[in-house]
Amino acid sequence: MTLLSGAARLAGRLGLIFEAATVDHRLRSEARDEVALVARLARSLGVAHHVIEAPIEEKSGVEAAARTARYAALESIRVARGLALVATAHTASDQAETLLMRLARGTSLSGAASIHEARADRVIRPLLFATRLEVEAYVAARQLEVAHDSMNDDPGFFRVRIRQEVVPALEKAAGPGAERALARFATLAAEDEAWLSAEAARAMSLVHWPADDTLEAEALNALGAPIARRVLAQWLTSKGVPLDGPLLEDGLRAARDRSTATLPGDRVLACSNGRVTLVAAPARLHATSS
């Protein structure tokens, strides 16, 4: 609601043409009332409003499933309406929470980058400079009617536990401003990650053999660890291998030692004859009683 209100206030000065969209995942009974709430504000501002229903069937991993469905729905509206960008209302508080979640889970590579201000897939986050408290202050000052999502209070979600328990503890230990400092770090990390990713893309052209889709081991080993890790990650991702930090380190070790590393899905990363490739895992031997 803050993003919608703010965009309407700035539209004339910035020459913006924008529309609003609400995605209903049918996860909560009160969602229909929230859709109507957005529709009323959009109508009062003279803004076109689209309602997209994207039901989520998954019982586990509902956050990730809803996020994927939501961005797909927003992109479909963007394309259909001939618009340039999708803007979401993530805040500095969301940025700090995401950073803590990824660090706690031991994420690798771009984990510290958290939420990007602008993504390659035409998604931007104009409110990433503001904390949740500042957004709430704007809502109060503009007397906006807003809804509260009850799922934001459910400690069954990891993000909620981070928000309710970890962030307040950090603010208490480090003093006010810890949340904003985390968000600022994540923003700088995103800039670092963009540069590292560009360097890795250039390095890939020197390491990758398109003819047989392998990597040259010596060229990979000659790269600095941050770039080599990203090159290997890009190559494995293109082959549908789910990544984590230990797996990438095992892969780099295999390339360095001319050995092997076990991958998910009964596959093995093997380094032989100077090339890094993927092969099927050998058939397992089953012991039986004589």
Nearest-5° angle of CA 61, CA 268, CA 223?
90
User: How far is CA 234 from its chain centroid?
Assistant: 16
Of the pLDDT bands very low, low, confident and very high (cuts 50, 70, 90), residue 245 is confident
HSE on the CB side for 9, CA within 13 Å? 8
pLDDT at 78: 97
pTM, two decimals, is 0.79
Q: For 181-211, how does the pLDDT look when each residue is reduced to its tens digit (9 = 90+)?
A: 999 998 888 888 888 989 999 999 999 999 9
For the chain, the structural domain boundaries read 2-184, 210-280
Q: For 67-87, how does the pLDDT look when each residue is reduced to its tens digit (9 = 90+)?
A: 899 999 999 999 999 999 999
Of the pLDDT bands very low, low, confident and very high (cuts 50, 70, 90), residue 105 is confident
Q: Which residue has the tokens 């890094």?
A: 276
- Name the average pLDDT for the chain: 90
- Give me the mean pLDDT over the 120-128 stretch: 93
Q: Which residue has the tokens 């328990």?
A: 165
Q: For 43-67, how does the pLDDT look when each residue is reduced to its tens digit (9 = 90+)?
A: 999 999 999 998 887 666 788 888 8
The CATH code of domain 2-184 reads 3.40.50.620
Q: For 144-173, how does the pLDDT look when each residue is reduced to its tens digit (9 = 90+)?
A: 999 988 888 899 889 999 999 999 999 999
3-state secondary structure of 177: coil
The closest of 94, 136, 115 to 1, measured between CA atoms, is 136
Nearest-5° angle of CA 68, CA 244, CA 228?
110
pLDDT at 285: 46
pLDDT at 254: 94
